[in-house]
Amino acid sequence: MRRDSIFYALFQQSPTLLFELLEEPPLNAEAYRFDSVAVKEPRFEIDGVFLPPDTEVPGIVYFCEVQFQRDERLYERLFGESFLYFYRNRDRFIDWQAVVIYPARSMEQSNTLPYQDLLREIGFIACF
C-alpha cells in the first residue's frame, strides 16, 4: 500500500475504519490489525485452459481441473490460478468459467465456506 500512503497511514492508525464501510462488519473488528504485505507469485499449472477462437469480439475462457484425489486446497489453487491468468490476459476475454471434474461428489473439497459466493455466481460446474 505504499502508493496509497494516505490510506496506509489511516488504516495503520485506525484499522477499524475499514469495517465502518461494511454492512456486516465482524463482531471483533476492533481486534483486527492492519498490515501491508507483498505476495510472491508461485508457479501455477492449470490442468486445462480452453481459449475462445481469435475473433474481433473477445470470448469466454474456460478453466478445467480434473481432480481424482481429494485436495482440501483445490479451490484456493483453482481460483488463484484462474484469477491470475484472467488478470494477465484480461483484454483477450470478456468472462471466464471454471469446470472441475470429480469421479464422485465425495472427492470435493469439504470446506467451501470461503468460496460459496464464487461457486454460486461464476458459473462454476462440478462434474461427477
pLDDT in tens, 19-30: 888 888 888 888
Q: Are 80 and 46 in contact (CB under 8 A)?
A: no
Could you list the beta-strand ranges (E) of 27-121: 48-50, 59-66, 93-101
Listed by start position, the domains of the chain span 1-38, 42-127
Model-level pTM? 0.67
Work out the mean pLDDT of the chain and round it to a whole number.
Answer: 81
